[in-house]
Homo-oligomer: A and B are copies of this chain.
Amino acid sequence: MDDIDLIRNFSRTYTHRLGLLSKSYLGSGLALSEARLLHDLDRPGPVRARELAQGLGLDEGQTSRILAGFARRGWIRRTRDEADSRQRPLHLTEAGRAQLEVLRLASRTAIAEATAPLGAAGLAALARVLDQASDLLRPPQPPLLRGLLPGDAGQVIARHAALYARDEGYDQSFEALVAEILAAFLTRNDTARERGWIAQSPGGRMLGSVFCMAEGPEAPQIARLRLFLIEPEARGTGLAQRMIEACLGFAAAAGYRQMRLWTHESHQAAGRLYARNGFALVASAPARAFGCEVIDQTWQRDLP
């Protein structure tokens, strides 16, 4: 059972369970090739018929016929290329985009039904590993660092809870703490002095988080770096460094004079990262937290 057999094995399971091979695509009346073609038409600029055919490995004749059908149904507009009138650049119309949305919903429903037995947690785990696979299949692209969007806070809570429970044995009280921290952050909504970053894979799954928060009114010049988490599969890639830099840069620009953070001694890789970024260990004390014996650490550095 080598790597290739594992992949073959997956293909069979996947096509079987997710029914990728379904003819007459999801009852939408469109054939699979038509659906794929329509999807590939959804690009900002004009599209060439040949590009589409080659991109999908479809026969050009067949492509031509399918496109004729789309034009008849008003899903695409075929314009005339001024410079070369052999070509007929294609544009998706509003009707075409609407049809694409119909398709998207049908496909979402089908996947939701097929994955219903997995439950929400299983679905999230599946999405996570499949998106990892997407990343591996695509030419490598660096993760995106972006601000917080709706739904991110929940993800941050869920991943903190899951990973700390697995790796450190933390109990539910840790999830509650993370939820409280985030709830307060969102409530304060102090965008000038506080910010969160989400690292996101090219496919869109969350790879990590970091937050810059105010230490509190009694220490207005101190910023706190919090909820710093990198998914295991994204560790050792330099992503953590990028995220720390984003956080430090924001804190300095927001006028803080120091940045402080709180961690546990067991996070050795994190400790090395903090040390590399000018933080120094300023306090350390054993404590009992989240059902475990831990050694709390406080690190601090000055900001430029």
Q: Please determine whether A13 and B137 come into contact, CB atoms closer than 8 angstroms.
A: yes
Within 8 A of B (CB), among A10-33: 10-22, 32
- Report the nearest B residue to A9, measured CB to CB: B203
Given A19-B57, A169-B268, A236-B165, the answer on whether A130 and B203 have CB atoms closer than 8 Å is no
- Report the nearest B residue to A139, measured CB to CB: B117
CB distance from A153 to the nearest CB of B (A): 15
A269 CA to B151 CA in the complex, in Å?
30
* Interface residues of A, count at CB 8 A: 67
Q: Please determine whether B136 and A4 come into contact, CB atoms closer than 8 angstroms.
A: no
- Report the nearest B residue to A294, measured CB to CB: B268
Q: How many copies does the complex hold?
A: 2
The A contact surface, by secondary structure, is: helix
Q: Which residues of B contact A166 (CB under 8 A)?
A: 232, 235-236
A39 at the interface (CB under 8 A from B): yes
Q: Which residues of B contact A104 (CB under 8 A)?
A: 8
Q: Which residues of B contact A73 (CB under 8 A)?
A: none
Q: Which residues of B contact A132 (CB under 8 A)?
A: 129
Chain A 231-258: CB-based contact to B (< 8 A → 1; otherwise 0): 0100110000000000000000000000
CB distance from A28 to the nearest CB of B (A): 14
Partner of A130, one of B6, B266, B268: B6
Interface centre among A8, A104, A122, A205 (most CB of B within 10 A): A8
Given A20-B11, A235-B167, A268-B292, the answer on whether A6 and B205 have CB atoms closer than 8 Å is yes
Closest 8 pairs between A and B when the two form their complex, measured CB to CB: A1-B204, A3-B127, A10-B130, A6-B127, A166-B236, A129-B132, A6-B131, A126-B136
A-B contact pairs, 26 of them (CB 8 A): A2-B127, A3-B123, A3-B126, A4-B111, A4-B112, A4-B115, A4-B127, A5-B204, A6-B131, A6-B205, A7-B115, A7-B126, A8-B108, A8-B111, A9-B134, A10-B130, A10-B134, A10-B203, A13-B134, A14-B134, A20-B20, A118-B136, A129-B129, A167-B232, A167-B269, A169-B268
Which residues of chain A have a CB within 8 Å of any CB of chain B? 1-22, 32, 36, 39, 56-57, 104, 107-108, 111-112, 115, 118, 122-134, 136-138, 151, 165-169, 203-205, 232, 235-236, 266, 268-269, 272, 292
